[in-house]
Amino acid sequence: MKVFTTLKLAFRALWRNKVRSMLTMLGIIFGIGTVIAMIASGQGAKEAVADVFRSMGTNLLIVTNGSQRSFGAAGGAGSRFSLTWTDEAALEAGEVPTIRWVTPVLQTKVQVASADANWNTSVVGTKPVYFQIKNWEPKEGALFDEDAALNGPKVAVIGTTVATQLYASSSPIGQQIMINNQPYEVIGVLESKGQSGMGQDQDDVIVIPLKAYTQRIDKSGGKYIPGRGQIYVSVANEGDIQKAETQLTTVLREKHNLGAADDDDFQIRNLAEFALSQQKSTDKIATLLAIVAAMSLIVGGIGVMNIMLVSVIERTREIGIRMAVGAKPLDVMTQFLVESLVLAAVGGVLGLGFGALLAKYMASYYGWKLFFPATTAALAFAVAGGVGVVFGLYPAIRASRLDPITALRYET
């Protein structure tokens, strides 16, 4: 039989039982729909998590001072000065080849004020490469450069939270900001980054040149990088992060003259690792959801099989007639297989639309980017077709195996 004729026949047969066909299709629609929505939103959630960590810094290792132990009581991270400016300079000079960018990041809480408001926020003293590591662009104005970091002019780049708190009505650019009662000029406002992976407001910050910080905010360090001070290390290639961490440890231990038995007097935090574990847990949830959705698709497929079996029994007489006038077993099988295929495919298309709507709704509800990859859609459609064939096969084979004489005698 010709393809077109077979298709027409299938549509006819399904149209004759509109309600039943529609109900059967619902199973497929919900199955495909949820699969699509789950894959799309899983992708969206994953991307959202990745975004958060990307905003915290690219391939970032954070080196901090270690903890001081006095009479067995640990003082906690940063209670001991161990990282020196020489360490930082050595890293910057390229002693660890896998590293791309290095900058000290000194940070403390300060009281700040504009002409008409004041605020308590973090002030960060660093080098301009900090902005590259954090992938941070100015929304307005400009960032300070390498010269500024070394000479320490009194300029400040502020986050959006600080900007709204202090300069509600006018542009902060060129305005004066008081940090620890010393006047600085606001030269730039940073793009908003929102919350960090740890839940901190990343926009509640003021960034000033390193020299300005060490000369005016915290002069305590001397040859050491003071207290809560950190060294941000950005690794060139994502794959080298572990290697870089090991190399970094070796170099720092050497510089600090630590013996084999000594503990590290510094700490290295691996943000990528943390991001990865977060990524993995979102992946796990996404996979779980997709599996549940796939289950509902299987249930839909069983619905198709059920209805096709009923249909074969109801139409036993018809099958007998068709066989009597020359339909081969293969013709009969094809007819029923195409019917279940059409049922599943139409359900698949509708399910695709349903899934897209669901994904769009979820994306806007959770503030994710909408992911609706064409490959997933194509895959879902193929899966729907597959469901039609797999679950239609058994009823179709049963139909084709009917004996024409018995089938003709069948009373409905």
The residue ranges that bind another protein (CB under 8 A) are 1-2, 4-5, 9, 16, 317-318, 320-331, 404-405, 408
Residues sharing a CB contact under 8 Å with residue 232, sequence separation 6 or more, in sequence order: 57, 60, 61, 62, 101, 102, 103, 104, 105, 126, 130, 133
| Residues 319/402, Cβ–Cβ less than 8 Å | yes
Q: Give the nearest distance from C-beta 331 to another protein in angstroms.
A: 6
Q: Give the nearest distance from C-beta 318 to another protein in angstroms.
A: 6
Is residue 226 left, alpha or beta, with left meaning phi > 0 and alpha meaning psi from -120 to 50? beta
User: Given the complex with another protein, which of 5 and 215 has the nearer CB atom?
Assistant: 5
d(CA 338, CA 71): 81
Give the max Cα distance, the chain: 104
User: Given the complex with another protein, which of 134 and 322 has the nearer CB atom?
Assistant: 322
Q: Give the nearest distance from C-beta 341 to another protein in angstroms.
A: 18
Question: 228-267: b or e for each residue (b if 16 or more CB lie within 10 Å)?
Answer: bbbbbbbbeeeebbeebbebbbebbbebbebeeeeeebbb
User: Given the complex with another protein, which of 15 and 365 has the nearer CB atom?
Assistant: 15
User: Given the complex with another protein, which of 362 and 397 has the nearer CB atom?
Assistant: 397
Q: Give the nearest distance from C-beta 325 to another protein in angstroms.
A: 4
| Structure tokens belonging to residue 328 | 């081969």
Strand pairing report for 138-141 and 182-190: antiparallel
Q: How many CB atoms lie within 10 A of CB 409?
A: 11
User: Given the complex with another protein, which of 329 and 385 has the nearer CB atom?
Assistant: 329
- Tokens 């298309």 appear where? 349
- DSSP conformation class of 175: -
Q: Give the nearest distance from C-beta 334 to another protein in angstroms.
A: 11
Strand pairing report for 118-126 and 99-113: antiparallel
User: Given the complex with another protein, which of 243 and 398 has the nearer CB atom?
Assistant: 398
User: Given the complex with another protein, which of 62 and 408 has the nearer CB atom?
Assistant: 408
Q: Give the nearest distance from C-beta 305 to another protein in angstroms.
A: 24
Q: Give the nearest distance from C-beta 321 to another protein in angstroms.
A: 5
